[in-house]
Amino acid sequence: MKLSPIVVFFFFVQFSNSQIQDGVDFTRAEVFVEPIAEQKQINGSVVYEFMVLKNIDSIYLDAVNMDFSTVLLDSENVDYLNDKTSIIIKQRFKKGSKHKISLKYSAKPKQTVYFLGWEDKNPYNDQIWTQGQGKYTSHWLPSFDDMNEKVEFDLSFIVPKKYTVISNGKLIKKENLPKAENILWQFNMLRPMSSYLVGFAIGDFNKKSIRSTTGIPVELYFEPKDSSKVEPTYRHTQFIFEFLEKEINVPYPWQNYKQVPVQDFLYAGMENTGATIFSNTFMIDTIAFVDKNYVNVNAHELVHQWFGNLVTEQSGEHHWLHEGFATYYAYLAEKEIFGEDYFYWRLLDTAEALIKFSGDENGEALTNASAGSLTFYEKGAWALIMLRERVGDSNFREGIRNYLTEYAYQNVTISDFMWEMEKASGMKLSDFENVWLQESEFPFEVAKKYLLQKSSAISTYFEIKNQIGKNTNTAHSILTKRWDSLGSDFLKRRLVLDYAEVLSTDFLKQILNNESVKVRQAIAFSLKTVPIEIKKDFENLLFDVSYKTIESALYRLWTDFPDRQNYYLDKTRNVVGLPNKNVRLLWLTLALVSPTYKIDLKPKYYNELNNYTGSEHHFEVRLLAFQYLQNIGTFNDETLKNLVDACSHHVWHFKKSSRNLLKDFLKGDGNIVRLKAIYPSLTQEQQLYLDKTLSK
């Protein structure tokens, strides 16, 4: 029976929740989930087992906008309060007693669970997936926003037969249900974790299975349409897994590991325990690997299985213990795969970004719970690099092993980690903490000195930069004299990016014909116009093994040599490009505005470009299509409907960009009238947003 809200009780609970939960330990959850996709609804049940640590008179679980049809305590009906942020049971519990609470509920999550594909034109891209980073699992599962409450979650799902389910733990049962077109998927976990790490993905997926040398099953999922992209996408996965186990020096702490790509994911990836969900924009072919690959994200999310999932921060001011560590070890994995040169130049890039950020008086301490990703990820990685340099390899590795072993399946603070490092090294590290953890300014000169000592190529770069100084006219003579002695492609690329505009055409030809893809690419990125003397050599970039190079070269050549526009379009008409279709969308736009190019096919090209604004496409594709259509001034009614739809998208930066595009459109003569004309065809949510926008 549901109690009517009692004001005094409500305020008592709100005030004392944190103290109440200190007196209880939730140990296990048996979860049942049935998504109702067409209604964007979750029907579910959960049974929690808990132990009372001290005499208390109430317990609660976080539960956002849920309706409960059953609430049982030890199999008996019990009164409860549902305040739409939590469910509270006021009952006397004695220290040492054990109990079960059983909940049956339904929810229509506004966030955290995303239902994609049911409202678009593509019948084959239906997906449901979660993103609960931080404290948001309580939008679809009564659980704990506090990361300090760790529970062993065993999850079961009922879904239609055509879908696959990926979730935490080991799949122990997959059973056809009688008289229904559904399958029961049942997963089992053995160890506890924080609620934000509970996750699932449901959709049409195949998988490739591998096994680590230590016996851990690894499952690599993909959509059937991406079967040819499995190898380049998951390239080096086996090596990454085994390298990290060896480098971290603690066995992988979970039963298995799964990775699944999904549409319109909010971030690059999310490290749900044993089940990473990542953006399907990392599903790439071999050519795309040059410009955008999954290696770093692959390693980063795997590292979190130790740093974040096995050992979890107590609160936000200790977030370095998650993201700094994941970034650092991912860089170490990349160092093994791509080489030391790649590693040190990557660190230079991050150091320069950090000092620019810090120099604008935006610097943040790593202990600042409100710090941004640049601080937690990149400054956090730098802190570990310098800590390892300070204490030495063997002491660092011993400290890491002791830290992960001592606090396994628990919550930690930065002080806990630093204490383990001090014990392992026999050093006092308060000065390190002051400089790298407490100070808001990034110590760029310390980082630069480290890089100069470690990388001869970076040392040479700064030497050449100092030699050239502000007189860039000397760059050509200095670079031509030293070029053949420069052994680093990363050094050459950086120098071309810095000085391409002052290099002779003969030297540019030499680079275009003899250097690696990334050095050639630097010319495509850097030249504001293509000198006629290198036109033929520059045209070869249209066939290079880089989609970003092809995109840049196509635009540059099309702009600089109008008489060759049709030729350039013919040569690139079959290139799609990266997962965001960078080359194809540019090609369609140029084909539309080229006066003499296939005039009879222009309606077809327009329809294709406009179609890419639809919700069945990834938001990166949609945004590019909107931008190109805006640039050539060709929004039609379908474009406008899709743009209004995008203004309510769950990915905030796409939503923000779409709203800005709509605001710009409304400034045009007659465009408000055009929007009002399509108003009746919009959904209620879209109409509400448009009402709000037009009223301004």
Q: What is the pLDDT of residues 548-565, one digit of tens each?
A: 999 999 999 999 999 999
Q: How far apart are CA 103 and CA 61, in angstroms?
A: 11
Rounded Cα–Cα distance for residues 493 and 476 (Å): 15
CA distance 592 to 604: 10
Cα(306)–Cα(293) distance, integer angstroms: 23
Task: Tell me which residue of 305, 329, 314, 274 sits closest to 417, measured CA to CA.
Answer: 314
Region of 75 (left: φ > 0; alpha: ψ -120 to 50; beta: rest) is left
State how far Cα 249 lies from the chain centre.
Answer: 26
Distance of CA 349 to the CA centre of its chain: 20
- In this predicted structure, what is the pLDDT of residue 14? 37
- What is the distance between the alpha carbons of residues 609 and 621, in angstroms, rounded to a whole number? 10
Average pLDDT for 44-61: 97
CATH architecture of 1-199: Sandwich (2.60)
Q: Summarize the confidence of residues 484-510 as an average pLDDT.
A: 98
Amino acid identity, position 423: K
pLDDT of 16 higher than 80: no
Q: Kindly state the average pLDDT of the residues 108-112.
A: 96
Give just the sign of the alpha carbon dihedral 92, 98, 103, 109. positive
pLDDT of residue 264: 98
> Hey, what are 457's tokens?
């190529």
Residue 383 contacts residue 320 (beta carbons within 8 Å): yes
Residue 156 DSSP label: E
3-class secondary structure per residue, 569-627: HHHCCCCCCCCCCHHHHHHHHHHHHCCCCCHHHHHHHHHHHHHCCCCCCCHHHHHHHHH
Supply the DSSP symbol for 265. Answer: -
d(CA 54, CA 94): 7
Tell me the average pLDDT across 391-404: 99
Query: Per residue in 352-388, pLDDT tens?
Result: 999 999 887 889 999 999 999 999 999 999 999 999 9
Is the whole-model pTM more than 0.75? yes
| Identity of the amino acid at 346 | R
pLDDT at 196: 97
Residue 179: the pLDDT is 74
**pLDDT (tens digit, 9 = 90+) per residue, 181-236?**
999 999 999 999 999 999 999 999 999 999 999 999 999 999 999 999 999 999 99
Q: Which H or E run includes 545?
A: none
pLDDT of residue 134: 73
Task: Compute the chain's Rg from CA coordinates.
Answer: 28
Q: What percent of the chain has pLDDT above 70? A: 97
Contacts of residue 8, defined as CB under 8 A and 6 or more positions apart, other chains included, come to none
Domain spans of the chain, in order of start:
1-199, 205-306, 313-454, 593-696
The pLDDT of residue 137 is above 60: yes
The mean pLDDT value for 158-184 works out to 95
Residue 599, pLDDT score? 98
> What's the CATH class of domain 313-454?
mainly alpha
Angstrom distance (rounded) from CA 81 to CA 4: 7
Cα 324–chain centre separation: 15
Report the chain's terminal Cα–Cα distance, integer Å: 46
**Backbone CA torsion sign across 506, 508, 510, 513:** negative
Three-state DSSP state, 487: coil
Pairing verdict, β 66-73 and 76-77 = antiparallel
∠ CA 547-551-556 to the nearest 5 degrees? 145
Note whether 161 and 204 are within 8 A (CB): no
Paired with 187 in beta bridges are: 171
d(CA 409, CA 404): 9
Name the least confident of 13-22, 409-418, 662-671.
13-22
pLDDT at 622: 99
How far apart (Å, rounded) are the C-alpha atoms in residues 151 and 31? 12
Tokens read off for 543: 């066939």
**Which pLDDT belongs to residue 344?**
99
Q: What is the dihedral of CA 118, 685, 620, 635, to 10 degrees?
A: 110
pLDDT, position 10: 34
> Which residues, 6+ apart, have CB-to-CB distance to 245 below 8 Å?
212, 214, 251, 252
What is the CATH topology of the domain spanning 205-306?
Neutral Protease; domain 2 (1.10.390)
Q: How many CB atoms lie within 10 A of CB 330?
A: 24
C-alpha to C-alpha distance for 398 and 318, rounded to whole angstroms: 21
Model confidence at 608, in pLDDT bands (50, 70, 90)? very high
Tokens (6 digits) for 546: 């880089």
Question: Are 1-199 and 313-454 the same fold in CATH?
Answer: no
The residue ranges of DSSP E strands in 255-385, in sequence order, are: 257-262, 269-270, 275-279, 311-313
With a pLDDT cut of 90, the percent of the chain lying above it is: 92
Q: Which residues lie closer than 8 Å to 16 by C-beta, 6 or more apart? A: none
User: 287 and 549 in contact (C-beta within 8 Å)?
Assistant: no
pLDDT value of position 15? 33
Residue 5 pLDDT greater than 80, yes or no: no
Looking from the CA of 545 toward its CB, the CA atoms found within 13 Å total 10
Phi, psi of 499 (to 5 degrees): -130, 10
Over the chain, what is the mean pLDDT? 95
Span 525-538, mean pLDDT?
98
Which residues sit opposite 504 in a β-bridge? none
- Rounded Cα distance, 12 and 16, in Å: 6
What's the burial of 292, exposed, middle or buried (CB within 10 Å: 0-12/13-18/19+)? middle
DSSP string, 114-154: EEESTTSS-TT--EEEE--TTTTGGGTSSB-SSTT-EEEEE
SS3 content of the chain, % helix, strand, coil (to 5): 50, 20, 30
What average pLDDT does this structure show over 336-361?
A: 95
Q: Which two tokens stand for residue 359?
A: 């120099």
Strand partners, 30: 47, 154
Question: Measured between alpha carbons, how far is 265 from 263 in angstroms, rounded to an integer?
Answer: 6
Strands ordered across the beta sheet of 257-262 = 206-211, 217-222, 257-262, 275-279, 269-270
Return left, alpha or beta for 670; rule: phi > 0 is left, psi -120 to 50 is alpha, else beta.
left
Tokens of 684: 């209620």
CA dihedral 178→154→205→331, nearest 10 degrees, is: 180
Q: Is residue 693 predicted with pLDDT exceeding 90?
A: no
Using the Cα atoms of residue 437, residue 440, residue 444 and residue 445 in order, give the sign of their dihedral.
negative
Angle at alpha carbon of residue 622, lines to 618 and 627, rounded to 5°: 150
